[in-house]
Structure 1
Amino acid sequence: MVSHILSSILHQTPFASPLSRLVSYCLRLRKLEMAQEGGIINEPFVIGEEKGSVRLSTLNRPRQLNVISPEVVLKLAEYLEMWEKDDQAKLILIKGAGRAFSAGGDLKMFYKGRDSKDSCLEVVYRMYWLCFHIHTYKKTQVSLVNGISMGGGASLMVPMKFSVVTEKTVFSTPEASIGFHTDCGFSYIHSRLPGYLGEFLALTGARLNGKELVAIGMATHFVPSDKLADLEAQLVTLDSGDVNVVRSTIEEFSEKVNLDKDSILNKQSVINVCFSKESVKQIIQAFEAEASKEGNEWITPVIKGLKRSSPTGLKITLRSIREGRNQTLSDCLKKEFRLTVNTLRKTISADMYEGIRALTIDKDNSPKWNPATLDEVDDENINLMFKPLEDDIELLIPETEENRWGGKYATSGYASLIQCKREEN
């Protein structure tokens, strides 16, 4: 579309000056951008393609870094359910358009619903339900991750049978820093990483590159970005979902991983000492003590980040990761769903909305946390965040094979409750 506009302007009357033609181009390009942002041009948020026995899903909101919206969740769930039941579909691929795989949840969507109770509950429910099915999917899945993969967006990458990353891949779970918690199954994933790396990643939001993800098992293969298109083309021609065949094909394009000497993964001993402590306060104190030692200069900016983060978000996140060590995937998802609903409801704090405001709305990067310090965060209030929800709106995880795709939002207690309220009105 953009190239079409540029072409038409370049073929304007030869009497138009280069400047006037450039201005005309910019104005029309901005009009196109505004139309796209306003939804006037109906590009699908998720593109589903059938290529022989391969099914390809492309997250298609490149200007928004493929953030997860209600439409994205709904369409992905529809495709995955249909393809798992399709006998002709043998291999499932997922990738992101543009420079991001997915930057996570649509924060502005959450912020817009801050004054309306449970306005985002439906998309949250559908997302957690989708996370469970991705983890337990019965056909071979491959994620091709050539860019940003953060927060909930990474839940579409890590659980796949094969997760292919590149030198452009950037992973992070930064939710605690804005008053949220590590969600979408990551209290399960992080709690199973080596040592106390999971606590470190969840609390600090530290970034990992593609090679580091492979090294700790959160991705399976490292493929240079200039080979990714060829790998995708090769996978499409396989006509097989056999795990060994797919693995061998990916290995033809993959490279052995060697960590950089300054990789955070080479700091595991320090991380284990500090992030094994019982509380966030003790973790920070231990981290500060290590920072004073020679060679630990890398710790100082990490501590600054921790101290800028929401005290409430940090405490909830640490407890969630710690509980996750002894929980099943289903238990973790149910717990995280409760935490998410209670966070959106401002059950004990409005920090998440304040964090979003400071980061993406006003962009002043000066959030005013309430409570403002770790000492002021009441542990009894933290307990409230983990309690079961009322009105039978708990996340329904399928417990039998017959109910494989059961537990959808439409059959949840909350959806029934909303329907009753509508009928009453």
Structure 2
Amino acid sequence: MASPMADSKPGSQPSQVVLDEEKGRVRVVTLNNPRKLNIISREVVIRLTEIYEKWEKENDAEMIIIKGAGRAFSAGGDLRVFYYGKADKHVIEAVYKMYWLQYHIHTYKKTLVAIVNGLAIGGGASITVASTFKVVTEKTVLSAPEAGFGFHTDASLSYILSHLPGHLGEYLALTGARLDGAEMIATGLGTHYIPSEKLEDLEKRLVDLNSGDRNIVRAAMEEFSLQVQPGEKSILYNRSLIAKCFSKDTVEEIIETLIAENNMEGNEWVKDTIQNLKRSSPTGLKMTLRSVRQARKQTLSECLKKEFRLTINTLRGVISNDIYEGMRALVIDKDNSPKWNPPLSEVTEEKLDLVFSSFEEEFELQLPQEEKISRWEGKFECSGFHLE
């Protein structure tokens, strides 16, 4: 894993990957691996789960602030661990615990404030959008690039993106397009735009509130926030064309529609989008499109369970090893020349059915909405994957 676990007292060891502080009724979490852009390793997931559970149960904890050290909030999962670990028990444990944690962040009983001053990619984006308040800045960048390297939009992001207006969710999930802070505000993925130079004062103000009352917290953040609009070159101004293209039933039809629009005046961005899709993993694209489309009709819990099955089956190479080829080209050899297999035409609905198929009950992600288990039960240690 990326970094060893360390003692939880803030500042005690430079190798700590998660710092936590108690300040009256406010708790502060810092993702603390700036050299590696605060990647979400197994250690990070385990520690976050421990402290989130502890603080939800504490009567004197009312608000949790989470932020990242350095120039990133979090660049997402540790791809090297997935590449070398494949589908071994430690990798499955990290996946299970991340998705289980995401359910609890989305449904957390206390006020959550994510201060996102930099990259929020993949899992980092998931933690961001699940929080009650999402503070963004001029340095914020959010993206879900997983489809491009043979994976799928996961950790609840298929659920979140599926509920964006029009078919913007499909566009973001399939292309991995980046949104800045102003665009996040415009799409509802961010709640407050605050200049980075004011973040230190904001955090002090929130701590001084000593309260998790959401109306009080919102009012305090509005003292610092600015009204912003997306820049003139923002992709959001092309939402009608995005809807026209990305509403099509299949990846092939989406690409065909984009090609037909490519020569129209003012559609210069379409060429880049076509090239992006054509160099992406066919398996990743088709898994992601189906997943986002399904998510529109799924509950959060159903979506997380589906994403868990997809991830495990993808790591097992049930229909393709594109995820490993994508990670090889991206982070191992860094040649940016992946060789995808199978091609788009051979990623059939029947093959997709295999990666979307359900597990036996003891191997499913266990979430408390089923009323069979209490809120903080259903941990990995009780799952079939741990016991086998």
- TM exceeds 0.5? yes
Q: Residue deviations 1:322-366, cap 9 Å, x none? A: 000100000000000000000111111110010000000000000
Question: Does residue 242 of structure 1 match 2:210?
Answer: no
- Per the alignment, residue 101 of structure 1 pairs with 73
**How far 1:52 moved relative to its partner?**
1.1
Question: Does residue 167 of structure 1 match 2:164?
Answer: no
Is 401-410 or 208-217 further displaced after alignment? 401-410
Tell me, yes or no, if the aligned pair for 1:118 and 1:341 is still in contact at 8 Å: no
Q: Residue deviations 1:294-337, cap 9 Å, x none? A: 01011111211110000000000000000001000000000000
Question: In structure 2, what residue type is equivalent to 1:393?
Answer: F
**How far 1:167 moved relative to its partner?**
0.5
**Partners of 1:125 and 1:311 in 2: CA distance:** 25
Tell me, yes or no, if the aligned pair for 1:183 and 1:336 is still in contact at 8 Å: yes
Question: Does residue 381 of structure 1 match 2:339?
Answer: no
Tell me, yes or no, if the aligned pair for 1:391 and 1:414 is still in contact at 8 Å: no
TM, length-normalised to structure 1 = 0.87
- Per the alignment, residue 10 of structure 2 pairs with none
**Of 103, 120, 132, which residue of structure 1 is paired with 2:91?**
120
Alpha-carbon spacing, 1:142–1:388, altered in 2? closer, same or farther (3 Å) = same
- Per the alignment, residue 64 of structure 2 pairs with 92
**Partners of 1:259 and 1:378 in 2: CA distance:** 38
**How far 1:65 moved relative to its partner?**
0.5
Tell me, yes or no, if the aligned pair for 2:135 and 2:191 is still in contact at 8 Å: yes
**Partners of 1:75 and 1:209 in 2: CA distance:** 29
Tell me, yes or no, if the aligned pair for 1:172 and 1:208 is still in contact at 8 Å: yes
Tell me, yes or no, if the aligned pair for 2:329 and 2:336 is still in contact at 8 Å: yes
**Partners of 1:405 and 1:119 in 2: CA distance:** 21
Alpha-carbon spacing, 1:237–1:98, altered in 2? closer, same or farther (3 Å) = same
**Of 161, 184, 195, which residue of structure 1 is paired with 2:166?**
195
Q: How does 1:168-187 map to 2 (within 5 A)?
A: 168-187=139-158
Q: How does 1:9-408 map to 2 (within 5 A)?
A: 43-114=15-86, 117-371=88-342, 373-390=343-360, 392-399=362-369, 400=371, 403-408=374-379
Q: Residue deviations 1:395-419, cap 9 Å, x none? A: 00102397010111111122122xx
**Partners of 1:265 and 1:38 in 2: CA distance:** 41
**Partners of 1:227 and 1:333 in 2: CA distance:** 35
SS class of match (2:61)? coil
**Partners of 1:55 and 1:359 in 2: CA distance:** 36
SS class of match (1:149)? strand
Alpha-carbon spacing, 1:110–1:319, altered in 2? closer, same or farther (3 Å) = same
- Per the alignment, residue 4 of structure 1 pairs with none
Q: Residue deviations 1:113-162, cap 9 Å, x none? A: 13x64441000000000000000000001000000001111111101110
- Per the alignment, residue 384 of structure 2 pairs with 413
**Partners of 1:104 and 1:190 in 2: CA distance:** 17
**Partners of 1:322 and 1:158 in 2: CA distance:** 19
Question: In structure 2, what residue type is equivalent to 1:69?
Answer: S
- Per the alignment, residue 9 of structure 2 pairs with none
SS class of match (1:47)? strand
Tell me, yes or no, if the aligned pair for 1:118 and 1:344 is still in contact at 8 Å: no
**How far 1:378 moved relative to its partner?**
2.5
Question: In structure 2, what residue type is equivalent to 1:352?
Answer: I
Tell me, yes or no, if the aligned pair for 1:59 and 1:95 is still in contact at 8 Å: yes
Is 255-264 or 136-145 further displaced after alignment? 255-264
**How far 1:243 moved relative to its partner?**
0.5
Question: In structure 2, what residue type is equivalent to 1:88?
Answer: D
Is 150-159 or 196-205 further displaced after alignment? 150-159
**Partners of 2:387 and 2:98 in 1: CA distance:** 19
Alpha-carbon spacing, 1:228–1:235, altered in 2? closer, same or farther (3 Å) = same
Q: Larger radius of gyration, structure 1 or 2?
A: 1
TM, length-normalised to structure 2 = 0.95
Question: In structure 2, what residue type is equivalent to 1:306?
Answer: L
* Identity percentage of aligned residues: 58
**How far 1:379 moved relative to its partner?**
2.0
